[in-house]
Amino acid sequence: MYSCGPSIYMLPHIGNYRTFIFEDLLQRYLEYSGYRVTRLITVTDIEDKALAEAEKEKTSWKKLTERNTETFLQDIRLLKMAFPTYAAKSSTSIDQAVTIIKALLARGFAYWHKHEGRRNVYYAPPKFEHFGKLSKLDMSKWPRKKRRFHMDTYPGTPWNRGDFILWHGFRPGDKAYWNTAIGRGRPSWNVQDAAMITKHLGDTVDIACGGVDNLVRHHDYTIAVAESFTGKRLAHYWLHAKHLLVDGKKMSKSKGNIIYLQDLIEKGYSRDHIRFVLLRTHYRKRLNFTITELKTTGQKLDALRKMVFGIQSIETTTATSEEAEKLVGDIISKFETNMNDNLDVETAFDEILRILSRLDSLARNRKLSLKDSSLAIASLRRIDEVLQVIF
């Protein structure tokens, strides 16, 4: 499983964590279902943005990205996310990136071109059959005139119809470069994920994930680069999480509405409430984050936990009922039915809440046996291996 991770030139915000928690939910549910998951999350630490931000802060790109990476890894634990098998920085896969670029040059997918004093390498998309297949790009509109895009990334998500950069050649004054088999320079963002995937997971992965903003350009670039190199399909399934909005608006520095995890923690919001509000809305729906929604969703979680405590607190065996036995049996079956429906965690939670509400009523009326109480709690503990918010 490949998770397209953060560009660590800045701290990840709650929109990033919405995607990472969906991926955590997927990993945990696969493991719950009996699969053994090997997962890579990519951490982009060397790119144009990191160099620009380091220059702005008057520090080195290494210090900047190491500081942000440390916070990111702390936040993973804080939000109870399963730690991936590999949390790989792009700067640790330079050799693999060079190996890929050398192969693409030899096979005619890539070529050298000098630009503003740099001898760069570019990828020619028309050379790759079915380029843009993930986002269903219409290649009939590809310009005949040669165009090149020299930056790692560009604002927004429309297609850049032209050749994209793979290698930034060295220019005097550069603060980030490596001496490699193709000369001095650094790999662009466009080759880094392909390098990390093939280095750690091999030629093909079962599942690839990321935010929907990476669907256009980035992941089709990664497919083209990786498949041109290996000759094999990169991923069997692609899953993308929709955007998180704040008060109905996209987060951005210009709007001043970026929210970081520590902002919420410092204001007294619990990590379980934050995790729950980020995972409850289906990953293919936009999530409109508001403080009101955080509080309301947190109250639903607290209500469920209160019922769990009541059911768990039964001390003596009381009369049971067929209804109680059926409700207890439904906990796992309803959870799995909804999670098997493309991770419908929202419906799964509402079903559990409905079942617990009835069990709580039976418990208060002494119609829930100690045995059924214990079975219900055991089922909830198993479910919480996935959700990580109940206990």
User: Counting Cβ atoms within 10 Å, is residue 11 exposed (0-12), middle (13-18) or buried (19+)?
Assistant: middle
Taking residues 37-62, report their average pLDDT: 97
| 341-354 pLDDT, tens digit each | 999 999 999 999 99
pLDDT above 80: residue 253: no
pLDDT above 90: residue 275: yes
What pTM, to 2 d.p., does this model score?
0.95
Cα separation values, 355 from 324, 333, 352, 358, Å? 9, 12, 5, 5
pLDDT at 54: 97
Domain with CATH 1.20.120 in the chain: 291-387
pLDDT at 330: 97
Which of the four CATH numbers 3.40.50.620, 3.40.50.300, 3.40.50.261, 3.30.230.70 does domain 2-250 have? 3.40.50.620
pLDDT at 318: 61
Q: What is the DSSP letter of 380?
A: H
| 69-118 pLDDT, tens digit each | 999 999 999 999 999 999 999 999 999 999 999 999 999 999 999 999 99
pLDDT at 317: 63
How, if at all, do strands 110-115 and 86-89 pair?
Answer: unpaired
Predicted confidence band of residue 120 (pLDDT cuts 50, 70, 90): very high
pLDDT above 90: residue 252: no
| 284-310 pLDDT, tens digit each | 999 999 999 999 999 999 999 999 999
| 217-231 pLDDT, tens digit each | 999 999 999 999 999
Q: Quote the mean pLDDT of the chain.
A: 96
Domain with CATH 3.40.50.620 in the chain: 2-250
Q: What is the DSSP letter of 7?
A: B
Predicted confidence band of residue 314 (pLDDT cuts 50, 70, 90): confident
* C-beta neighbour count of 116 within 10 angstroms: 8
pLDDT at 227: 98
Alpha-carbon torsion angle 33, 16, 187, 109, nearest 10: 60
pLDDT at 366: 85
Taking residues 181-193, report their average pLDDT: 98
pLDDT above 80: residue 386: yes
Predicted confidence band of residue 321 (pLDDT cuts 50, 70, 90): confident
| CA-closest candidate to residue 8, choices 66, 93, 55, 75 | 66
pLDDT at 86: 97
| 325-379 pLDDT, tens digit each | 999 999 999 999 999 999 999 999 999 999 999 999 998 888 899 999 999 999 9
| CATH class of this structure's domain 291-387 | mainly alpha
